[in-house]
Amino acid sequence: MSDAIVLASGSPFRRKMLADAGLSFEQDKPEIDERAVEKAVEGAGLTPEDLASILAEAKALDVAQRHPGKLVIGTDQTLSLEEDVLHKPKDMEEARRRLLLLSGKTHQLNSAVVLVRDGEVLWRHVGIARLTMRHLDPGFIGRHLSSVGDKALSSVGAYQVEG
């Protein structure tokens, strides 16, 4: 059934990943405020991995309400540097500062996926990738951001591994 799976995401990268896997699916962007979800669980002692899972679940549950009976795939990725969770940069200056912050350090990408049908969580998983970024000099960062443009604002690290 081509319409039995729904990807709860607006991400072109996630769309391509499922399409490349040969899956037939539809895509529906969740209508949640991620920062509000984070605020609701603030102070609960959650790890960055837990937060990624909670956000993926919130997205899947939101979209599942509009698609009864269908399997909904919710995803989210957090970037953590030690215990700090970083968000997508708001502008190019913040992207520049983000890359300077990550330069020469190891950070963690916490990728969560949650499967939901009719409001019930059927499965969840968080994969963790630890990345050590080489030292980046400010000139390199400027050239990189100039080259990729606003794409740098579409990911939490201001870079795209898949790019």
Token code pair at residue 19 = 């399409």
- Left if phi > 0, otherwise alpha if psi is -120 to 50, otherwise beta: which for 119? left
What is the rounded CA–CA span in Å between residue 26 and residue 113?
17
User: Annotated active-site positions, please?
Assistant: 76
Neighbours of 129 (CB within 10 A): 11
What is the rounded CA–CA span in Å between residue 68 and residue 74?
15
